[in-house]
């Protein structure tokens, strides 16, 4: 209100009302403002918006990248953990298998060794028996012939007769066994 | 104060005549100082923001940062916060409005220019007409002409007899008060501010030429003038902000579905 009174007073003194617009200034204001509007709208606003969206994108992109990397790391960790657990399980299984297998092998070997031992023992026994038989037979023959020879020499009687010879040998041996 | 001085000495107080600047070239009314200043402001603002936004870098330079600060202030604090999700359509207009008014206001205290172009009432009138046309156009397009007029003339949820009082007020508000207050607020602030500065600076100058006693008083007038210059700076920024804010509010009202 005080402004109005000042301007009224001034207008009364100077004769110009500051509230009355000038045509030239209206035209200039319209043209100048439109010009500025067109320049700012076409050149400035799109560029600033571009910078803003690129900045937002850059920040978001970085965050997404980090998130992706974290996700990948988590996946890898899970994979490693699973693999590790699998490996542990497998190792335990292998150890168990080995233990069982080892026990089986030992058992098997023991059986085989026992068998072998039995076989060797049997073979030895058989061979000893055979050798003994052979020795007995050959001894018997040798002793017989020796004794016969000796007796023949001693008795002077030819004991060539086979039957007699064997009867004498048998009796001799029987005597020998009896005296033993 | 001017009156008192005028009665004491031969001081001619600043008046509206100080705002009626003669054309520079002959009688051509398109060559006055305010006209030059307005075009200068267009060039200044255009060049500054084109240089600032030219690179549109993700990591801004100092210049780009300065331009962006002003732009994002209008875009986010004025347009987005007031208008809402459809704000982007109106950012170019509000941005132009703010930078144009601010620059022209600041001319009032920039040395050698020292004339706020908005103290010439024609320019605020033009800006108010732009805003007036835009917010009515937006409202008519958004709500339809009949619905919009009905909303203005018969505000919903009001007892019928009240319309006798309310309808004229609402019609006057939308078609007369809004554009007038918008332009006159800006004009009057710039006009009065410039007048005040003239009174103190010219008064101080006049005192300096007077008797010895008056010479001693003169520095106080100058000091006051300098203090008022800082005050004017605040008013100039504030008025640019208010004009843009009110425009954004009117547009928001035009887009709002309910009163």
Q: What pLDDT is attached to residue B58?
A: 84
Inspect the interface and report whether the beta carbons of B53 and A52 lie closer than 8 Å. Answer: no
Q: How close does chain A come to B104, measured CA to CA in Å?
A: 11
Question: Which residues on B lie below 8 Å from A39 (Cβ)?
Answer: 42, 46, 50
Q: Are B104 and B41 in contact (CB under 8 A)?
A: yes
Closest residue of chain A to B89, computed from CA coordinates: A41
Contact B207, B217 (CB under 8 A): yes
Tokens of B10: 């031969």
CB contact under 8 A, A48 and B71: yes
Q: Is B42 close to A24, i.e. CB distance below 8 A?
A: no
Domain extent, residue B143, equals 2-255
**Structure confidence by residue, pLDDT tens digits, A123-176:** 889 988 888 888 888 888 887 788 777 777 766 555 566 777 788 778 888 888
Q: What is the pLDDT of residue A9?
A: 40
- B50 neighbourhood in chain A, CB within 8 Å: 39, 43-44
Q: Which residues of A touch B63 (CB under 8 A)?
A: none
- Helices A23-39, B33-53: inter-axial angle, 10-degree rounding: 0
pLDDT value of position A139: 81
Q: Output phi, psi for B209, to 5 deg.
A: -90, -5
Q: Determine the 3-state secondary structure of B55 from DSSP.
A: coil
- Measured distance CA(B68)–CA(B64) in Å, rounded: 6
- The CA-to-CA distance between both ends of chain A, in Å, stands at 168
Distance from the Cα of B54 to chain A's closest Cα (Å) equals: 7
Among candidates B127, B138, B129, B134, which has minimal Cα distance to B99?
B127
Match 């490693």 to its residue by tokens. A80
A:B CB pairs within 8 Å: 138
CB–CB contact A16 B195 (8 Å) = no
Nearest chain A residue (CA) to B15? A10
- Count of domains forming chain B: 1
* pLDDT above 50 for B2: no
Query: Tokens at residue B127, please?
Result: 């800006």
Task: Say if residues B223 and B60 touch (Cβ distance below 8 Å).
Answer: no
Question: B112 or A164: which carries more pLDDT confidence?
Answer: B112
Residues of A in contact with B60 (CB under 8 A): 51
Residue B244, phi then psi, degrees to nearest 5: -70, -40
- pLDDT at res. B7: 44
How sure is the predictor about B76, in pLDDT bands with cuts at 50, 70 and 90? very high
């Amino acid at each position: 209100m005080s402004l109005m009174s000042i301007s009224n007073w001034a207008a009364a003194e100077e004769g110009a009302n500051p509230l009355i617009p000038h045509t030239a200034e209206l035209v200039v204001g319209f043209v100048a403002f439109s010009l500025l509007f067109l320049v700012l709208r076409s050149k400035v606003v799109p560029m600033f918006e571009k910078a803003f969206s690129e900045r937002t994108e850059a920040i978001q992109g970085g965050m997404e990248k980090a998130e992706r990397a974290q996700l990948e790391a988590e996946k890898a960790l899970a994979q490693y953990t699973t693999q590790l657990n699998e490996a542990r399980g497998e190792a335990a299984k292998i150890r168990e298998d080995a233990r069982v297998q080892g026990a089986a092998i030992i058992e098997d070997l023991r059986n085989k060794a026992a068998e072998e031992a039995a076989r060797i023992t049997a073979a030895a026994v058989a061979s000893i028996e055979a050798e003994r038989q052979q020795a007995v037979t050959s001894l018997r023959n040798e002793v017989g012939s020796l004794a016969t020879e000796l007796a023949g020499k001693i008795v002077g009687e030819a004991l060539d007769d086979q039957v007699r010879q064997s009867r004498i040998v048998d009796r001799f041996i029987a005597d020998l066994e009896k005296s033993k | 104060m001017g009156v008192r001085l005028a009665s004491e000495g031969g001081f001619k107080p600043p008046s509206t005549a100080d705002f009626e600047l003669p054309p520079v070239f002959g009688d051509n009314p398109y060559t006055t100082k305010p006209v030059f200043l307005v075009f200068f402001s267009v060039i200044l603002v255009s060049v500054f923001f084109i240089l600032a936004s030219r690179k549109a870098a993700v990591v801004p330079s100092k210049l780009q940062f300065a331009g962006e600060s002003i732009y994002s202030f209008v875009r986010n604090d004025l347009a987005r916060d007031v208008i809402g999700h459809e704000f982007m359509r109106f950012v170019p207009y509000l941005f132009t409005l703010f930078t144009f008014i601010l620059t022209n206001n600041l001319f009032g205290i920039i040395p050698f220019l020292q004339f706020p172009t908005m103290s010439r009432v024609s320019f605020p009138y033009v800006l108010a007409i732009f805003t007036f046309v835009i917010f009515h156009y937006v409202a008519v397009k958004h709500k339809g002409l009949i619905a919009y007029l009905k909303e203005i003339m018969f505000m919903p949820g009001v007892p019928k007899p009240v319309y006798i009082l309310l309808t004229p007020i609402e019609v006057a508000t939308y078609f007369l008060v809004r554009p007038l207050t918008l332009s006159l607020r800006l004009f009057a602030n710039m006009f009065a501010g410039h007048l005040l500065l003239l009174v103190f600076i010219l008064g101080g100058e006049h005192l300096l030429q007077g008797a010895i006693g008056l010479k001693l008083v003169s520095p106080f007038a100058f000091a006051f003038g300098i203090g008022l210059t800082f005050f004017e700076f605040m008013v100039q920024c504030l008025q640019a902000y208010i004009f843009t804010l009110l425009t954004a509010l009117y547009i928001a009202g035009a887009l709002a579905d309910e009163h």
